[in-house]
Amino acid sequence: MVEKFVEEYAKLSSNEPNKIRVERVNINSTYSEITIFASTADAGKLIGKDGKMISAIKTLISGCKVKDGISYKVIVKPIDG
C-alpha cells in the first residue's frame, strides 16, 4: 500500500513518469526500505531543494507506522538513461 502511494506520487511529480520504479524490501517485521528509481533529473526533483520534497514524502508515510507498526526508510536512486 505505501509503496503504491509513493510510486503514484513520484509519477505525478516527475517529467518522465514511465521511468519511475519503486521497490520495497522488508528488512524485518517492523522495518522496510522503499527505494524510488528515477531518471537523474527526476531524482533531483524528488529530493528537492535542501531535501524538502523527500522529507515531505517521509512525513506523509510516517503516518502509516501508526496503522501497521512498520517504520519506513525512503531512498531515491537515479538511473541512467
CATH code of the domain covering residue 20: 3.30.300.20
d(CA 29, CA 77): 24
Q: What is the pTM of this model?
A: 0.87
pLDDT digits (tens, 9 = 90+) for 9-54: 999 989 999 999 999 999 998 999 999 999 998 999 999 899 899 9
Q: Which domain holds residue 15?
A: 2-79
Number of domains in the chain: 1
Rounded (10°) CA dihedral 20, 13, 52, 70: -50
Strands (E), the chain: 21-28, 31-39, 71-79
